[in-house]
Amino acid sequence: MFADLNQQEFKAIRLIATKHLSCSGLAKEMKVSRATAAKMISELRKKGLYISTTRDSVGWFYQLRAIQDPELADLVGAGGRGGRDYSTSVDEDLLEH
């Protein structure tokens, strides 16, 4: 699967694995249209990546749930577990209000 990724797809995976991005946020980071970002997510899902759309108190974001290829997991910073657990990354300032 890793060999099938182009540079833009790899960049998108890395951003999703390391940042809290919506479709609009991904588009902005990638310097593409929102439609192109959505299409890219769709293509990555077709290639076997489990990318979920999750909602928290801030809004919607993509979450990379699993990467089966250990080499790709290391390269995108997923630490081999595929994605991150956002349940522990709540902004403490939001809880005080």
Model pLDDT, residue 58:
84
Residue-level pLDDT, tens digit, the chain, 97 residues = 556 788 999 899 989 988 889 999 999 999 999 999 999 999 998 888 889 998 888 889 998 876 666 666 666 665 433 434 433 333 333 333 3
Model pLDDT, residue 69:
65
Report residue 43 as tokens. 């293509």
Model pLDDT, residue 92:
35
CATH no., domain 2-80: 1.10.10.10
Question: Cβ contacts of residue 23 below 8 Å, gap of 6+?
Answer: 34, 37, 38, 41, 60, 62
Structure pTM? 0.67
56 C-beta neighbours (distance < 10 Å), count: 14
For the chain, the C-alpha Rg in angstroms (whole number) is 14
Model pLDDT, residue 81:
39
DSSP state of 51: E
Model pLDDT, residue 84:
40
**CA atoms within a 13 Å half-sphere pointing along the CA-CB vector of 32:** 16
Model pLDDT, residue 68:
63
